[in-house]
Amino acid sequence: QKMHGLVVLPLLTAACQSLASVRHMAETTEACITAYFKESPLNQNSGWGPILVSLQVPELTMEEFLQECLTLGSYLTLYVYLLQCLNSEQTLRNEMKVLLILSKWLEQVYPSSVEEEAKLFLWWHQVLQLSLIQTEQNDSVLTESVIRILLLVQSRQNLVAEERLSSGILGAIGFGRKSPLSNRFRVVARSMAAFLSVQVPMEDQIRLRPGSELHLTPKAQQALNALESMASSKQYVEYQDQILQATQFIRHPGHCLQDGKSFLALLVNCLYPEVHYLDHIR
């Protein structure tokens, strides 16, 4: 059992080098990374480092491989790819490039099951981290780009938090299929969407410093109302405390965009304690 996680790493490398089918490669790499974090407490100490070294996707098939990962929901594999990109060149320009790739991906993906849903938290965390780095440069062009990206992420968070799918004709009028995602995921997504709507209130505004009071735009108020209304719904009764905690955090004027990562960590700790691939963002 303890060895299992360590056996996974050579398998991960082998999958990249010997599988002819890009689809099989994308499935196998994801299965290996998932197994690595499931099997042994040993691996949690070494974190993602060994995986970054072990995932070696051939350059020739890279684009096709990434596309296949997006289609299959191999979000952990894509996360590793992004970390590799960040490690390969530690410049502001490269970090912005990765942030743009990530925002493009977030626009395209919708987890198809509860097994996939929590993987998005790693992406959201990375978006927050990279966004903060860019805003620290005090460059209005970079900040504008960050605002656009955060607004896009926020709208996607609202979308994945819906109880029914909005795709198709029936979806457009509110009769879409029931979402395959869990209630606890919706609590996290609604909370993060509400947080971002407060911290990025308009297309030309972003809260990078805490204040003594909070001025809520109608959009932010609406997002907070949507979150608070969950607490009184029978469906979310077991998450009432977490919803209340999230609402208090968001309404606190002393919190700003800088606190986004700790807010996500708070939600992950409360709602996903058993998911070990999230340990390094806790």
Question: Which one, of 114, 237, 116, 236, lies nearest residue 181 by Cα?
Answer: 114
> End-to-end CA distance of the chain, in Å?
25
Q: Is 205 helix (H, G, I), strand (E, B) or coil?
A: strand
**Would you say 117 and 181 are in contact if contact means Cβ atoms under 8 Å apart?**
yes
pLDDT of residue 7: 81
Q: CA-CA distance, 225 to 20, in Å (whole number)?
A: 50
152-174 per-position pLDDT tens digit: 999 999 999 999 886 655 555 55
Tokens read off for 84: 């590799």
Per-residue pLDDT for 25 more than 80?
yes
Ramachandran region, residue 91 (left: φ > 0; alpha: ψ -120 to 50; beta: rest): beta
Rounded to two decimals, the pTM is: 0.94
Q: CA-CA distance, 40 to 18, in Å (whole number)?
A: 26
Tokens read off for 150: 């955060």
111-120 per-position pLDDT tens digit: 999 999 999 9
- 247 burial class (0-12, 13-18, 19+ CB within 10 angstroms)? middle
Per-residue pLDDT for 106 more than 90?
yes
**Would you say 265 and 281 are in contact if contact means Cβ atoms under 8 Å apart?**
yes
Residue found by looking up tokens 């996974």 in the block: 8
Cβ contacts of 67 within 8 Å, gap of 6 or more:
none
223-275 per-position pLDDT tens digit: 999 999 999 999 999 999 999 999 999 999 999 999 999 999 999 999 999 99
Q: Which residues pair with 164 in a beta bridge?
A: 178
* Ranges of each domain in the chain: 4-281
pLDDT of residue 164: 85
Q: CA-CA distance, 222 to 228, in Å (whole number)?
A: 10
High-pLDDT (> 90) share of the chain, %: 79
Helices 240-251 and 260-271 meet at what angle, rounded to 10?
Answer: 170
36-91 per-position pLDDT tens digit: 888 655 555 678 999 999 999 888 889 999 999 999 999 999 999 999 999 999 99
Task: Quickly count: other Cβ atoms within 10 Å of residue 170's Cβ.
Answer: 13
